[in-house]
A and B are shown apart, each in its own frame.
Chain A
Amino acid sequence: MGSIEANGKNYETDEEGYLADLNTWDKDVAEVMAKLDDCELTDNHWEVINFLREYYEEYQIAPAVRVLTKAIGKKLGKDKGNSKYLYELFPYGPAKQACKYAGLPKPTGCV
Chain B
Amino acid sequence: MADFETPELKEYPVIPHLQEGVMAHSRPFVAKEEFQEQLGFPGELVDNWEQVALDKMKELTGKYRGFQVFLDSCVKCGACTDKCHYYLGTSDPKNMPVARQDLLRKVYRRNFTFAGKYFPKLVGAVDLTKEVLDDWYSYFHQCSQCRRCSVFCPYGIDTAEISMAAREIMDCVGVGQKYCNEIIGKVYKIGNNLGLPQPALLDTLEGLEEEVEEDTAVKVRFPLDEKGADILVVTPSADFFAEPHVDGLIGYAKVFHEAGISWTLSSHASEAANFGMFIGSYENMRKVSLRIREAALDLGVKRIVMGECGHAWRVAYSFLNTLAGPFDFLDPKYPVPQHILEFTHDLIQRDALTLDKSANDDMVLTYHDSCNVARASRMGSRPGGQFTIPRDVIRASCNHFFDMPQDTIHEATYCCGGGGGLLTDDLMELRVKGALPRMEALKQVVEEHGVTHMNRHGYFSRRHGKERSDVSPLRRG
Contact A108 B195, beta carbon cutoff 8 Å: yes
Contact mask A32-51 → B, CB, 8 Å, 1/0?
Answer: 00000000000000000000
Look across to chain B and name the residue whose beta carbon is closest to the beta carbon of A106.
B425
Residues of A within 8 A of B56 (CB): none
C-alpha spacing A110/B208, complex, angstroms: 20
Asked if A83 is at the interface (CB within 8 A of a chain B CB), the reply is yes
Residues of B within 8 A of A83 (CB): 243
Contact B242 A111, beta carbon cutoff 8 Å: yes
Asked if B194 is at the interface (CB within 8 A of a chain A CB), the reply is yes
C-alpha spacing A65/B208, complex, angstroms: 11
Interfacial residues of chain A within 31-90, with CB under 8 A of chain B in the complex:
58-61, 63-67, 70, 83
Asked if B213 is at the interface (CB within 8 A of a chain A CB), the reply is no
Residues of B within 8 A of A67 (CB): 203-204, 207
Look across to chain B and name the residue whose beta carbon is closest to the beta carbon of A15.
B29
Asked if B186 is at the interface (CB within 8 A of a chain A CB), the reply is yes
C-alpha spacing A109/B237, complex, angstroms: 8
C-alpha spacing A67/B418, complex, angstroms: 24
Quote the shortest CB–CB distance from A48 to chain B (angstroms): 15
The answer to whether residues A110 and B193 also contact, given A59-B203, A64-B240 and a CB cut-off of 8 A, is yes
Residues of B within 8 A of A107 (CB): 194, 241
Asked if B199 is at the interface (CB within 8 A of a chain A CB), the reply is yes
The one of A59, A70, A108, A110 in contact with B418, judged by C-beta atoms closer than 8 angstroms, is A110
Contact A61 B238, beta carbon cutoff 8 Å: no
Residues of A within 8 A of B186 (CB): 108
Contact B195 A61, beta carbon cutoff 8 Å: yes
Count of chain A residues near B, Cβ 8 A: 20
Quote the shortest CB–CB distance from B137 to chain A (angstroms): 15
C-alpha spacing A70/B211, complex, angstroms: 9
Interfacial residues of chain B within 429-477, with CB under 8 A of chain A in the complex:
475-476
Asked if A19 is at the interface (CB within 8 A of a chain B CB), the reply is no
Interface size class of B (residues with CB under 8 A): 35 or more
The answer to whether residues A110 and B423 also contact, given A61-B200, A65-B241 and a CB cut-off of 8 A, is yes
Quote the shortest CB–CB distance from B69 to chain A (angstroms): 32
C-alpha spacing A64/B168, complex, angstroms: 32
Contact A111 B207, beta carbon cutoff 8 Å: no
Interfacial residues of chain B within 73-110, with CB under 8 A of chain A in the complex:
none
Contact mask B167-209 → A, CB, 8 Å, 1/0?
Answer: 0000000000011001100100000111111011001100110
Contact A111 B194, beta carbon cutoff 8 Å: yes
Contact B193 A66, beta carbon cutoff 8 Å: no
C-alpha spacing A108/B271, complex, angstroms: 13
The one of B192, B204, B207 in contact with A109, judged by C-beta atoms closer than 8 angstroms, is B192
Asked if B426 is at the interface (CB within 8 A of a chain A CB), the reply is yes
The one of B204, B211, B236, B243 in contact with A110, judged by C-beta atoms closer than 8 angstroms, is B236
Contact A109 B426, beta carbon cutoff 8 Å: no
Counting chain B CB atoms within 10 Å of each CB, the highest count among A59, A61, A95 belongs to A61
The one of A15, A58, A110 in contact with B238, judged by C-beta atoms closer than 8 angstroms, is A110
Contact B197 A109, beta carbon cutoff 8 Å: no
Contact B273 A64, beta carbon cutoff 8 Å: no
Counting chain B CB atoms within 10 Å of each CB, the highest count among A15, A65, A110 belongs to A110
Contact A65 B238, beta carbon cutoff 8 Å: no
Residues of B within 8 A of A70 (CB): 207, 211
C-alpha spacing A59/B240, complex, angstroms: 14
C-alpha spacing A106/B278, complex, angstroms: 21
Asked if B246 is at the interface (CB within 8 A of a chain A CB), the reply is yes
Contact B193 A60, beta carbon cutoff 8 Å: no
The answer to whether residues A59 and B200 also contact, given A15-B29, A64-B241 and a CB cut-off of 8 A, is yes
Contact A110 B196, beta carbon cutoff 8 Å: no
Contact mask B227-246 → A, CB, 8 Å, 1/0?
Answer: 00000000011101111011
Q: List 18 A-B pairs, Cβ < 8 Å.
A: A15-B426, A16-B425, A61-B194, A61-B196, A61-B197, A66-B246, A67-B204, A67-B207, A83-B243, A96-B425, A108-B195, A109-B192, A109-B193, A109-B237, A110-B476, A111-B194, A111-B238, A111-B242
Q: Across the A-B interface, give the 6 residue pairs with the lowest CB-CB distance, nearest first.
A: A109-B193, A59-B200, A111-B242, A109-B194, A110-B238, A64-B241
Besides the contacts A65-B242, A109-B183, A109-B241, what 19 more A-B pairs have beta carbons closer than 8 Å? A15-B426, A61-B195, A61-B196, A64-B196, A64-B200, A64-B204, A64-B242, A65-B243, A65-B246, A66-B204, A66-B208, A95-B242, A108-B182, A108-B183, A108-B194, A108-B195, A110-B238, A110-B475, A111-B241
